[in-house]
Amino acid sequence: MKFPETRPRRLRMNAVVRGLVQETRLSVEQLIYPLFVCPGEGVKREISSMPGNHQFSIDTLVEEARAVKSLGIPGIILFGIPEKKDDHATSAYEDHGIVQDAVRALKREVKDLLVVTDVCLCGYTSHGHCGVVLNNEIRNDASVDLIAKTALSHVKAGADMVAPSDMMDGRVVAIRQILEKSGHKNTPILSYAVKYASAFYGPFREAAESAPAFGDRRSHQMDPPNAREALKEVELDIEEGADILMVKPAGPYLDIIRMVRDRYPVPVAAYQVSGEYAALVAAARLGWLDLQRTALETLIGIRRAGADIIITYFAKEAAKLLS
Ligand code: PBG
């Protein structure tokens, strides 16, 4: 078949036909919105490198979560900024830690909102590393014990799903076992299975106050040039009992999302991270890009690559545009 019989433009001539033949769709049910909770009352502090996103105290967080839910967004992922930090991240696994108390409030006050908690120690350690540091080394197994303990404390407080983001080896099975032992066999684990050591996390570290005081995260997060290694991480996490696998960041790693989607029969999530958001917002503020159109284009690209679920700071804007 060739021209003039074949004219692909026939199916692009108007919005109705374009709508009919659209291969990939983006809908609000696929989005999760990140929220940051901090101590205090009445706090709503804008994060300067992530305009439109804030640190909330529990009371204002509940209001924000209600607004998020009313836009049709099904869930949030919660990050905590604790009152105190120490070498062993004690505030990460306290019964009344910031995340635990926030989860209780959200589950009590906001009906049918899925509450996922990010499980990591970097926001809770005085040095900002994702684990226990001894002689300048981030210790894997000691960190995993604390990470599992943290996950359990979130679930006890009512978290619907836990999302370990630390990239220590063996954390998924440790979380699965501690949840089994304590009778929480139905809580899904959304594993940050493939998390790259990315420069795109910059703005988040301001938001979560979690920048490492020395060194970096390259001894545990993945090296950006590697793809085979992503498959190995995914395979391990599935074996260890993860239910949903995440690739992070999203935009620079669309090939990885596609590989995971094609090879494993599990839901795939992608995290469009703080720097991906900040770059578009900054360009739009300079008048260089149309924010609404570029934001939706990045999200549809992530869907086309194969992501079932997208965690994005654009969730609220996208929900409004899609409705
Ligand atoms: C915690 C964590 C990070 C992000 C999610 N969980 C930061 C990091 O690994 O340094 C990044 C999210 C974003 O940039 O939006 N380990």
The pLDDT tens digits for 66-90 are: 999 999 999 999 999 999 999 999 9
Which protein residue has the closest C-alpha to ligand 1 atom 10? 201
User: What is the 204 CA–ligand 1 centroid distance (Å)?
Assistant: 6
Average pLDDT of the residues in 235-249? 98
Q: Which of 166, 200, 210, 253 to mutate to test the pocket of ligand 1 (most atoms within 8 A of CB)?
A: 210
Reported confidence tier of residue 96, pLDDT bands at 50, 70, 90:
very high
Report pLDDT for 74.
Answer: 98
- To the query of whether residue 232 is one of the catalytic residues in this protein, the response is no
CA angle, residues 223, 225, 228, in degrees to nearest 5: 90
Which residue of the set 69, 85, 195, 316 is catalytic?
Answer: 195
Taken in order 291, 293, 294, 297, the sign of the CA dihedral is: positive
Query: Which of 33, 198, 201, 246 most suits a substitution to test ligand 1, by most atoms within 8 Å of the C-beta?
Result: 201
Instruction: Show the DSSP H helices in the chain as ranges.
Output: 15-21, 58-70, 98-109, 140-157, 171-181, 202-207, 228-240, 254-263, 274-285, 291-305, 315-322
For 193, which DSSP code?
E
| Domains delineated in the chain | 25-322 (3.20.20.70)
Task: Decide if pLDDT at 1 tops 90.
Answer: no
Question: 245 vs 119, 151, 194, 261, CA distance in Å?
Answer: 14, 17, 8, 10
